[in-house]
Chain A
């Protein structure tokens, strides 16, 4: 290895554009879903759909991605709208953390990517660990005040946004368009900043620098988590990249696949749209510790075949 950093502006611009072109349609889908929620999902309907028991609500939130899959770029704007509608914070957190992985699209791509490396085991472990991590974090968030977690403009008491709406259809439609446009611009600003930082690493740093870490399981898990955050790949395609690290133990590849979709450089920026900075630090630290402990210390064998 004759260098560890080599920056090229054309490479940066090219890779950055590819991330943007891939991500924007999904942000727009999130914005559209957010608009639909805004217009067609009154808070009282949401309250009626949710279980009264908090634990059941969290488990349901964690499994919701199976029927309402969203990628990590689009989900934050949906969560923001659901929180404005009075969805309990812990339920929203479980959905936000689980949906990018606990869904059929990611299950299939993970299975396909790990052909010859225990595809079924990797797929089940990824979904199981992601669900567990989402539910545990959401359980912790249940005990936090909304004021600690959410930006001030989102701190409405749960289920207290209920009131009549006497606007005409035309006024409602105009308000929905203004809200959708605001959502798109807000999330895209953070997405552009995050994509730029991730692209800087992705194109400029020699990826051979982490290869010596493969020999120690804890180091391998930690380095693959860091790599997942820095690369900021889409959860539907990250398995194909993780599978190429054949020298690394399966547990470290699971760490990559579980941690990356919930903590990456662009997501940390996008989380700023909904959460306070101090909570983002808490969330990132909590997820890092949780994923590291699960992947470094659970008896996960090296899957083959």
Chain B
């Protein structure tokens, strides 16, 4: 029994890791630098499962003749299950399966409110300006990933650095406006410009009036360290599900909030869109 449960555990863990890598769901969980590790670990666990099946059938000759004890402190693979072993297998099998089934692969509002929305870029020391591209974002027609957003290294810095959409609005990320708020030159260039941003819709709790937040998660390693970056949007709350993905088009301004300049968008247009393949900013 223990032998079979061990095999099932290794197969489940290896299979789950390979599934997340193969299906692309891994992009919603880890920074890209960790993706190869997940692939290697999944393959390694499946290999270990095969080796385990072979090794558990091999009998150890033992050392009865010489009286030494090396290698014999392992519990025999065919031994009966103790209560502790049953508990261990429950812990190994149940949480992983349940979490993979339940997880929506994106955070909800509870986490955003518990972490607090970041509007000051100095709180994110590893953040860098996006490069103006939305390679994995839904395109203007709603399809995913077919937009050519390559950035020409020779372009001048400033708003010309960013791509423009068909309606002439500048395509930016939440990060870019937070950077602009702290950079006088860039701030001046963005002031009163029409911009278009992708993010999640977070209206105030309790139905308060006065706009809403557009939020995008910033991640260093994995979703567990995600920080919600927010841009205030003025305008009436709209009929979009809370935390639903939207593209906002509006005019950028910068307001002094207790000595800290923060970007604010005056809402012109809001569209519901599909979640991007890569939901994080890095």
**Which A residues have a C-beta under 8 Å from some C-beta of B?**
2-3, 6-11, 13-22, 24-26, 28, 32, 112-117, 153, 161, 163-168, 170-175, 177-182, 184-185, 188-189, 192-193, 196, 199, 202-208, 233-234, 236-237, 240-241, 243-244, 246
**Is the CB–CB distance between B30 and A192 below 8 Å?**
no
CB-based nearest B residue for A35 = B48
* Candidates B41, B68, B107, B125; contact of A114 at CB < 8 Å: B125
CB-based nearest B residue for A113 = B125
Cβ contacts A to B, 30 pairs, < 8 Å: A8-B108, A11-B108, A14-B104, A15-B111, A17-B103, A18-B224, A19-B222, A21-B17, A21-B20, A21-B29, A25-B34, A112-B125, A117-B125, A165-B70, A165-B71, A174-B58, A177-B48, A178-B52, A178-B74, A184-B10, A188-B92, A189-B92, A206-B116, A207-B116, A240-B126, A240-B221, A240-B225, A243-B125, A243-B126, A244-B124
CB-based nearest A residue for B125 = A243
B80 interface contact, C-beta 8 A: no
**Is the CB–CB distance between A16 and B52 below 8 Å?**
no
Q: Which residues of chain B have C-beta atoms less than 8 A from A234's C-beta?
A: 221
**Is the CB–CB distance between A192 and B91 below 8 Å?**
yes
B159 interface contact, C-beta 8 A: no
A159, chain B: closest CB distance, angstroms: 15
* Candidates B20, B37, B220; contact of A240 at CB < 8 Å: B220
B81 interface contact, C-beta 8 A: no
**Is the CB–CB distance between B60 and A167 below 8 Å?**
yes
Interface of A, helix, strand, loop or mixed by DSSP: helix
Measured in the bound complex, the distance between the Cα atoms of B66 and A164 in whole Å is 10
Interface of B, helix, strand, loop or mixed by DSSP: helix
Measured in the bound complex, the distance between the Cα atoms of B99 and A203 in whole Å is 14
Measured in the bound complex, the distance between the Cα atoms of B219 and A15 in whole Å is 12
A15, chain B: closest CB distance, angstroms: 5
Q: Which residues of chain A have C-beta atoms less than 8 A from B124's C-beta?
A: 244
**Is the CB–CB distance between A171 and B58 below 8 Å?**
yes
- Please count how many residues in chain B sit with their CB below 8 Å of the partner chain's CB atoms: 70
B83 interface contact, C-beta 8 A: no
**Is the CB–CB distance between A181 and B10 below 8 Å?**
yes
B257 interface contact, C-beta 8 A: no
**Is the CB–CB distance between A202 and B224 below 8 Å?**
yes
Known contacts: A185-B9, A208-B116. The answer to whether A178 contacts B56 by CB under 8 A is yes
